[in-house]
A and B are shown apart, each in its own frame.
Chain A
Amino acid sequence: MKETSNKYLISALLLGLAFHGSAIFFTLETTYDALIHLFFADHYANSWFEPWNYEWYTGFTVQSYPPLVHQSIGLLSLIGGLKFGMFSVALIAIVLFITGTYRFSLMMTGNKTVAGYASLLAVFSSSFVETLHIFGQLPSIIGVSVLMHALPEIYLWLKTGRKWYLATSLSLIAVTVTSHHVTPIFGMIFFIFPLIGMVIMDVSREQVSSIKDVTFKLFLNSFFKLFKRIVSFGMLSLVLIIGCIFPYWLNSKANPITQVPIPHGSRDNFLEITSSGLVFFLIPWGILLVLLPYIFYRYYSKRYLFFGLSVTICTILGTGGTTPIPLKMLGETAFNILTLDRFTLWASILSIPLLGEFAYRFVEGDLKTLIQKKFGAVYHRITGGLLAGLVVFMVVFTMSLNYFRPSQPQKIKMLPIVNFLNQDDHDKWRFLTLGFGDQMAWLSAQTNALTVDGNYHSARRLPELTTRPIERLENSKFKGVAGIGSLQQFLTTPEKYNLKYIFSNDKFYDPILYFCGWQRLRQLENGIMVWERLNIPPVSSILPKEDVATWLKIMWGVIPFLTVLVAFVLNIQMLWVNMLKTRVKPLPDFLKYSVSYTKFNRHVLRVTHIWSLFLAIVVFYGVYVFYLKNDSQRSPENAIIAYYDALDFKEFEKAHSLIDPQSKLPIAQYMLEISVTDGLLSSYAKMDAIKTEITKHNDSTVSAKVTSQWITPLEKIEKVDYKTLSKRNKKWYLQPDELNNDLPPDQLYSANATKYFNQGRRRITTEQTHHEDILKQPVLEVVSAKLVQYNGHYAIIGEVQNIDNVPADVILKGTLYNDANKQLATYNAKYHMKHKLMPKELSSFRINFEGIAWSKTQDSIPDTFNPDEFTPVEFEEQPTKFNLQAAGNVSGSDLYKSVVLSAMNIKDETISGNLFNSGIQEITIPQLLISYYDEHKNMLWVDHLFVKAGIRQQRKQDFKYEILNHGKVKIINEDMSNIFVNGLPNDAIAGKIVPNRIENHSETQLQKIDHPDFSYIKIEINTYIGNPN
C-alpha cells in the first residue's frame, strides 16, 4: 500500500508557520513570560554550567526552572542574538505543536483525514493562540507538544511490547521533562493514564467481536496481561522525571516555596471577576465550548472512557474559584501554587482530536448528511458559516486582546538605560525598575548590573518579598497596600540592598521616592527618570551564593540537550521513513481502531442544538448585563461610577460628557480647570473602591455622598464628595463643582534663591574621584533625640539640624537595643523628616520600626510592627536603648522652601489653616510635620499630614489636621551619648561648630493647644515639586 502525503497536515504546517510565525514578531515580546525566558536564556548563554544568578533577588539559582527551552534559546543566541534564539524556538514550538496534535489525533481516531482536520483546527485553537501570543509560555507549549508526540509511542509500546517503542516513548518523555516540569507530572495523570486505559480497552476489544462485549472482567484480564509493560513504562518515566531534572527537585527540596501565595486570575471566581473568566475560561475554550456535548458524548464512549474522566477533571479544575470544587480537590497549598488555567489548556488540547472528528463529520461525513436530510442544505451551510465565523472571531479576538487591553507598558528603549548602567561604575550598585512590566527581564538580560527585584517569583528569597503577595516590586501599585508597603521598605532602607538607582517609568511612584529621601538625577532620552539615593555603599565584590555540587552543575548543563539528541536519534529514523516513504512500514496498531462515521447520533445533534441555544442566551444575557452595568447614565450610581472611572483613567472628555449640559460648561473650560489641579489625589492616586450613598431623592435631582478609596504611593486616602445629579432626557448628569476663584496678587513676580551645583569629578576620567574633588560631608547636629513609646509603637524622635554652610541630604538610621545590648531592630527615617536641609535648617524626625526590621520575628513577619510582640514574658526583649546614625551628603536638589503657613485656627481637636506658596514653583504635594510637646515643652511625638491637593504659585491651599487621639507618650530613653554624625560623636562635632548653642531656642514660638496629653505643637512644612522648572 502506498502512503500518500497528508494534505491537511502539510497545509496546517504551512498555515501555522505563516500565521503564527509572522505574528510572534508582534506579540511575543509583549507577552507575560517570554522575556523572563529570555533572561534565563541570557544566563545560560553567559554561564552554561553555573546555575547561580546574581542579577535578581540578591541572587537565585536557575535550577528552579527546567532548562531545556532556556538553554536552546541561549545556544541559538550565540548565532544571532537572544531574540533570534527566542523566535527560532517559538517557530520550533509551533511546528512541534501542529505535528503533535496530528499524531495525537491520529492515535485517538485512527483516521488520517480526521487527524488532518484536527491539526488544521489546532492552528487556530484559541487556547494555543492565547498560550503563545498572550502568555508567551514557550516551555509549556513545547512540553505539551512533545508529550503529544510521545503518546503514540507509548500506545505502541503498551500494545505491541516492542522495546523500540519503549525507547522512543521514554526519550520523548525525557524531552518533555527537561522543558517543563509540571507538564509531565500532570501529563501522566491527564494524558497517559487515560491512554493506558484506552490501550487496555483495545487489547480487550481484540479478544471479542465488538466493543460492546468488553466486560469489566475482560478489561481486568487485559490489564494484568499488560501490567508488566505499564509498570515498566511508569517506573522508567518516573525515573526520567526525577533523574533528568534532578537538580531542580533537589533545589525545590532545599528551598521549598514557603511564600505567601500570589493572587492569580485563574483562581478567581469567573462570574464575579469577568475579566479573569474571559482570559482563563472563555478564550481557551473558544469554539470547543459549543461542542462540549459532542466532546463529552464521544469521550464517554467505552473506548475513550478514561479520556472522558480526564477531560471532566481538567474542565472542573479549570473553573478556578468559580466553584469550591477545585480548592477541595487540590487542597489549599496546591491550589494556591498552581495556576489553574493550565488545566483548561490541557482540556482543550485533549479535545482537539474530537474537534477534528466533528469537523470532518460536519464537512464531509455523516453529520452533513444528517443535517442536510433533516434541515436542508442551506441550514448546513449557515451553521458551517457560523461555526467558521466563531473560530475566526475567537482567533482575531484573542490576538487583538493585547492591542485593546495592553498587559504591558509601551515598549521601552533599553539602550539609554544600559548605557547609563555601564558608564561611570553605575553598575556597582543595585538598581530597581518601576513601571517596566515584564520588560524588566529584558533589561536584566542586557546588563550585568544587579537588581533587588526579579520576575520569577518562585525564586524570591528576601523575606521582605516572600512574606507579601507581590510578584515584583516593579508593579507594586497594582498590589495595593501590601505592594506599596513592601516597596516602601526597600526605598527606606536601600543601603541594606546596595540599592542606589531607580529607573521610573511611572510617575505614580515619584512622591514616595521623594519622601523616602531619593532625588531625581536626570531623565534619560527614552523618557525614563533616574532617581538616586545618596550615602549607599556599592555592592561588595564577593557576593554570597548557595553553591551546588559540580556533578549537579554538569548534569544540569548536559542532560537537557542529551535528551534532545537521544530523542532525535531514536525518532529520526521513523521521521525519514514517514517523510521520504523509503519503505513500506507496517501500519501502526492504533489505525486499526478507527470508527466508521456512518450514522451520527440524532440525540447528540439535538443536545448540541439545545446547548448552543443555551450558550447563545447566556452570551446575550451577559452582554445585556454588561450593558446595564456600563450604561453610564441609566442610574445616578452608574453616572457617578463612570465619572470617577473616567477621572481615574484621565479620560477627561468622557468625564465632561457626564457633566450636566445645562450647566453650559464648555469642554475647553472643563479641561482647563482639570489641568490646573495637581496634587497627591489628582495626579498620583489610583482608585481602589467607590461607594455611593444617594442621600436625598426626587425624580430629577439627586444628591449623592460619594466615598471613594484611593491608593496613593504614600498612603490610602478616603475621600468623601457630595455630588448633585440631575436627570435630563432620561439620562443622569453630574452638576459641575464650584471653582476656587482665588486670584493671585501678582501677574509677574521675581524670586531670588541660592542654587547649588556639584561637579562630581572635575576632570573627565574613569579614574576614581581625586581626593580634592571629594566634598566634606556636611556637619549635622542631632539637637535632641529620644526613644519613646506611643500607642504601642516604639519610635525614635527628635530634631536634626544642618549646621554646615552647604545644603545637606540627611539620612537617619536608628537602632534599638535591649538592656543586654542585644540589637533588636534597625530602620531609617522614612517621611517623618525633611531629607533635604538648607544650611542651619532644622527638621523634626521620627524613626518608625516596621515589619521586617524585627530581627526576632524572622519567621513570620507581621505586616506592620505588632506591639503585642512584647509580652511580659519576653521582658528582656523590650527596647531600652538606641543608637542613631546621621549621615549628611551635599545635595543641591529639592531645596524649595517657599511655603508659608499663612493662617491657622484651632477648634476643638482640629487644626485648620492655609498654606501659601510664595515662590515660583508649583508645589505638588505639601507635607506637614507636626511635633507634639508636653507642658514643659519637651518633645514627645512627631506626626505628619500629606495635604491632598497641590498649591499653585501665589495661591492658598487650606488643610485640616486632626490632633492625635488621647494617649500618653512614654519616654523610654533620653540618653544622647550614642548619636553619631557622619561616623563621629554628635556632641564633639557639634560642639566645634556651635559651641554655645542656645538651648530650646524657638521654644517660645510653639503653638499652644488644649489637649489632655499634649500642650504645644510645632508645624514644619516639606514640599514635593512634581515638575520643577
Chain B
Amino acid sequence: MPNKFTYLFLLGLILLSSFAVKQQNEEYNIKLITPQTQYEVGNPISLKFSTSNSDKPLLYCSNSFGSTLISGVLNSNTLEYTLPEHITKKIGVVNWILTDKTTSIKGSFNIKPKAEVATMETYIGPPSIEAGETDYTMLVVIPTDSLDNPVPTNTLVTEKHQFLDSEDTNAIYTNNLIAFRNIYSKKESGRMLVSSESLGINSKEFTINVAAAIPTDFTISAIRPHDYADGNQVTTFSTSIIKDKQNNVVSDGTFVTFYITNKNQNILKTTGTTIDGIAQAKIIHPDYEDTWRIKAYVDGMSESDNITLTYKQVIEDFDVLFSNKNRTITVGPLQSFMGQMIPDGLHVTLNIYRDHVLIDSIIKTSFNGYVNFNLKPAMYQNGAYNFSIETAGKTKKINTKTLW
C-alpha cells in the first residue's frame, strides 16, 4: 500500500510545517542595473546587478529552446552575468530568475531578429496544376538570417515567375516567420518557372507544369484501305485535335474510347491515346457486310460526333464439294472482291446435324482460299447427315448427305 504511506507522509509534513518558525531575514538588496530589454540577435548580452554582499547566486535563464544556469562574476558590488551564445543567437523572449537563499527577482528581455537574409527555405506545391485560372500552386518562402533566425515580420520577399512570354514579380511580406503566395494558372498550358528574392538573396528555380484542363467535344474520322468486309484490313479512326475550353491541346496520353455499333446492335470498341491532341485507334475489318456507327468519348468529359462506315460483302457465294465417301467437305474457292483468293484466316463454320439435331460444330480457318473438313469414320458413323456451312455472314444448307 504505497499510497497509504504517501498520504501519511504528506500529512506528517503538513503537521510539521505548522511548527515552522519564520526565519530572521537580513535586508537583501540585489537589483538589476542593466536597463536594456531589447537586444538584436547575435550581439553579446550581459546582465548586471548591484549587490550588497559577496554571494554569487546562479542566474536561471530560459528561452523557447530550453533553460540554463549561469554563474556570475562579482566585481566591486556588481554581479555580472554574460549570457551564452546559444541564447543570444536565438530570437524571442528570454526570462531570467535570480534566486538567493531567501528571495528572488525575475525579469525578461527580448531578442529581436536582424533584418538580413542569409538563406531562404522555399517550398512549392503541387508541382503540376491545371490551366484555366482556377487551379493554383502555393509558394512558401522562409527567409532566415545567418543565425538561422526568421527575419522580422513584414520583411519584403519578391516572388518572381515566368510563364510563356510573361515574367511577373509580386511583393509579398513575411508574417509569422513565412511569406507565401498562391500562384494561379493562366488560361494557357505550359511550363512556369518560379523563384523568389529577399534582401538581395535569391532562391533556386522551381518548375511548375501547367497542364491542359479537361477536353471538350471533338470530331472523328476514319481511314481504311478499302471498304470491303474482307476481315483482313485495318481501319484507323482518328480524332481531331482535342483541346480544352481554353484551346490548349490536351496532355499526351489522354484516353479516348471509340464505340462502334454494328448492324446487329452489338457494341464493339477500340481505344486510343492522344499524341499532340490526336488519338488514333485501329480495328480489323469485319468479314461480312456491315454498317458501323462510331462515336468516341472521353468519359464524363467530352464526346465526338457520330460517323457511319459501311463495309461491302466480298464473298457473295462459295461452293461446297463432297468427296471421299462424302467424308471430305471442301469449301471454296473463297474469293474476294477482285476474284483473288481471300487472305488466309477466314473463319468457316461447319454445323453437323443428325436427325435435325446439332451434334457438332467445327470452326476452321481458310488456307489458300479453301477449307477442308474431314469427317472421320470413328467420329461420325455411316448414315445421313445434314450440314450447314457459315462463312462471311453467308450460310449454306446441305440436306441429307449420306456418309458411307
Please report A residues at the B interface, Cβ cutoff 8 Å: 696-698, 701-703, 724, 738, 740-743, 745-746, 752-754, 756, 771-772, 774-776, 783, 801, 803, 805-807, 837-842, 895, 897-906, 916, 918, 954, 956, 992-994, 997-999, 1001-1002, 1005-1008, 1019
Q: Contact between A741 and B365 (Cβ–Cβ < 8 Å)?
A: yes
B251 near A839 (CB under 8 angstroms)?
yes
Residues B60-87 near A (CB distance < 8 A) = none
Q: In the bound complex, how far is the Cα of B324 from the Cα of A464, in angstroms?
A: 63
6 contacts between A and B (CB under 8 A): A703-B378, A838-B254, A903-B286, A904-B267, A997-B301, A1007-B267
Establish whether residues B299 and A775, one from each chain, have CB atoms under 8 Å apart when the complex forms. Answer: no
B233 → A minimal CB distance (Å): 5
A754 touches B300 (CB 8 A): no
- Shortest Cβ distance from A699 into B: residue: B378
Which partner residue on chain A sits nearest B189 by CB separation? Answer: A805
- Nearest chain B CB to A926 CB, angstrom units: 14
Query: Which B residues between 220 and 265 are near A, CB-CB below 8 angstroms?
Result: 232-234, 250-255, 257, 259, 261, 264-265
Shortest beta-carbon distance from B86 to chain A in Å? 27
The 7 A-B pairs with the shortest beta carbon distances in the complex, nearest first, are A742-B345, A841-B255, A918-B282, A805-B251, A1005-B259, A805-B211, A754-B253
Other CB < 8 Å A-B pairs besides A741-B365, A776-B126, A918-B284, 11 of them?
A696-B378, A741-B344, A745-B284, A772-B127, A899-B271, A900-B282, A900-B283, A900-B284, A956-B345, A997-B301, A998-B302
B300 & A994 in contact (Cβ 8 Å cutoff)? yes
B257 touches A898 (CB 8 A): no
* Contact pattern, B 364-404, Cβ under 8 Å of A = 1, otherwise 0: 11110000000011110000000000000000000000000
Given the interface pairs A839-B253, A918-B282, the reply to whether A745 lies near B270 with Cβ below 8 Å is no
- The answer to whether B378 and A992 touch across the interface, beta carbons within 8 angstroms, is no
Residues on A with beta carbons closer than 8 Å to the beta carbon of B295: 1005
Q: Which of A696, A807, A840, A1008 contacts B215 (CB 8 A)?
A: A840
Q: What chain A residues lie within 8 Å of B251 (beta carbons)? A: 805-806, 839
Min CB–CB distance B307 → chain A (angstroms):
14
Identify which of B261, B280, B284, B366 contacts A902 (C-beta below 8 A). B284
CB pair B283 A916 closer than 8 Å? yes
Instruction: Tell yes or no: B57 within 8 A of A by CB.
Output: no
Nearest CB in chain A to that of B268: its residue: A901
Shortest distance between the CB of B258 and any CB in chain A (Å): 9
What chain B residues lie within 8 Å of A753 (beta carbons)? Answer: 273, 275
Docked pose: A995 CA to B364 CA in angstroms: 52
Instruction: Tell whether B36 is near chain A: CB-to-CB under 8 Å.
Output: no
Q: Closest A-chain residue to B286, C-beta based?
A: A903
Complexed CA–CA distance, A840 and B300 (Å) = 9
- Cα separation A992 to B266 with both chains bound (whole Å): 36
Q: Closest B-chain residue to A771, C-beta based?
A: B123
CB within 8 Å of A: which B117-146 residues: 123-128, 130, 134-135
> B269-304 CB contact bits vs A (8 Å, 1 = yes)?
111111100001111101000000001011111110
Contact of A839 among B124, B254, B281, B376 (CB under 8 A): B254
Do B233 and A745 touch across chains, with their CB atoms under 8 A apart? yes
Contacts of B30 in A (CB 8 A): none
Q: Is B206 an interface residue (CB 8 A)?
A: yes
Supposing A696-B378, A838-B253, A897-B255 touch, asked if A994 and B297 sit within 8 A by C-beta, the answer is: no
**Pairwise interchain contact B257-A902, C-beta atoms closer than 8 A:** no
- A702 pairs with B255, CB closer than 8 A: no
* Chain B residues with CB below 8 A from A838, complex form: 253-255, 273
Contact B299 A801 (CB under 8 A): yes
Query: Nearest chain A CB to B394's CB is how many angstroms away?
Result: 16
Report how far A215 CA is from B302 CA in the complex, Å. 104
List residues of chain B with CB within 8 A of the CB of A752: 275, 280
Q: How far is A839 from B268 in the complex, measured between Cα atoms in Å?
A: 22
Complex contact B377–A803 (CB within 8 A): no
Known: A754-B275, A918-B234, A993-B130. A724 touches B124 (CB 8 A): no
Q: What separation, in Å, do the CA atoms of A999 and B214 have in the docked complex? A: 15
Complexed CA–CA distance, A837 and B299 (Å): 13
Do A701 and B377 contact each other (CB < 8 Å), given the known contacts A771-B123, A775-B127, A840-B215? yes
Chain A CB count within 10 A is highest, among B135, B273, B280, for B273
Q: Quick check: A1001 and B232 within 8 Å, CB to CB?
A: no
Asked, given contacts A696-B378, A805-B212, A900-B283, whether A745 binds B232 with beta carbons under 8 Å apart, the answer is yes
Knowing A841-B255, A902-B283 touch, does A743 contact B301 (C-beta < 8 A)?
Answer: no
Residues of A within 8 A of B298 (CB): 840
Among A745, A746, A895, max chain B CB count under 10 A is at A745
List, in ascending order, chain B residues with CB within 8 A of A806's CB. 128, 251, 253
- On whether the beta carbons of B257 and A905 are closer than 8 Å, the reply is no
Q: In the docked arrangement, what's the CA distance between A997 and B128, Å?
A: 22
Closest to B290 in A: A903
Q: Give Cα distance in the complex from A701 to B301, angstroms.
A: 62
Closest to A955 in B: B345
Name the distance in Å between B287's Cβ and chain A's nearest Cβ: 8
Say yes or no: A994 contacts B284, CB within 8 Å: no
Beta-carbon nearest neighbor of A997 in chain B: B300
- Please, how many angstroms separate the alpha-carbon atoms of A1005 and B266 in the complex? 9
Cβ A998 vs Cβ B301 within 8 A: yes
CA distance A807 to B125 in the complex (A): 19
What's the minimum C-beta distance from B72 to chain A, rounded to whole angstroms? Answer: 45
A383 to B282, CA, bound (A): 79
**Is B343 interfacial (CB 8 A cutoff)?**
yes
Nearest Cβ on chain B to A366's Cβ, whole angstroms: 69
**B269 nearest in chain A by CB position:** A901
Is B301 in contact with A994, judged by CB distance below 8 angstroms? yes
Q: Which residues of A sit under 8 angstroms from B254, Cβ to Cβ?
A: 805, 838-840
Interface core residue of B233, B366, B376, B378 (most chain A CB under 10 Å): B378
From A703, A840, A906, A1002, contact of B379 by CB (8 A): A703
Q: How far is the CA of A701 from the CA of B271 in the complex (A)?
A: 48
Q: A740-B365, A803-B214 are in contact. Are A900 and B269 (CB under 8 A)?
A: yes
Q: Are B282 and A898 in contact (CB under 8 A)?
A: yes
**Residues of chain B within 8 A of A701, CB atoms compared:** 376-378
Which of A724, A754, A895, A1001 contacts B378, CB < 8 Å? A724
Smallest Cβ-Cβ distance to B368: which chain A residue = A741
Nearest Cβ distance between residue A780 and chain B, in whole angstroms?
A: 12
Q: Are the CB atoms of B268 and A992 closer together than 8 Å?
A: no
Contact A906 B266 (CB under 8 A): yes
Q: How far is the CB of B134 from chain A (nearest CB, A)?
A: 7
Considering the chains assembled together, what is the distance between the CA atoms of A753 and B352 in angstroms? 46
CB pair B301–A840 under 8 Å, yes or no, is yes
Q: How far is the CB of B188 from chain A (nearest CB, A)?
A: 15
Contact of A772 among B135, B206, B269 (CB under 8 A): B206
For the complex, give the distance between the alpha carbons of A149 and B342 in Å.
86
| Bound Cα distance A159, B279 (Å) | 96
* A703 contact set on B, CB distance < 8 A: 376, 378-379
Residue pair A1008, B378 in contact (C-beta under 8 Å)? no
Give the distance in Å from the alpha carbon of A753 to the alpha carbon of B273 in the complex. Answer: 7
Contact B233 A1002 (CB under 8 A): no
Which residues of chain A are within 8 angstroms of B259 by Cβ–Cβ distance?
1002, 1005
In the complex, chain A residues whose CB is within 8 Å of the CB of B271: 897-900
Q: Given A754-B253, A801-B300, A1007-B266, check contact A724 B273 (CB 8 Å).
A: no
CB of B268 within 8 A of CB of A902, answer yes
- Give Cα A588 to B265, complex, Å: 100
Complex alpha-carbon distance, A746 and B284, angstroms: 11
The reply to whether A897 and B273 form a contact with Cβ atoms under 8 Å apart is: yes
A754-B252 in contact (CB<8A): yes
- Contacts of A1008 on B, CB cut-off 8 Å? 265
When distances are taken between beta carbons in the complex, the residues of chain A under 8 Å from B343 are 743, 745
B255 / chain A contacts, CB cutoff of 8 Å: 837-842, 897
**Chain B residues with CB under 8 A of A842:** 255, 299-300
Docked-complex contact A776 and B125, CB < 8 angstroms: yes
Q: Which residues of A contact B214 (CB under 8 A)?
A: 803, 840, 993-994
Q: Are A743 and B344 in contact (CB under 8 A)?
A: yes
Q: Give A697 to B376 CA distance when docked, in angstroms.
A: 12
Expressed in whole angstroms, the minimum distance between the Cβ of B273 and any Cβ of chain A is: 5
Closest to A892 in B: B253
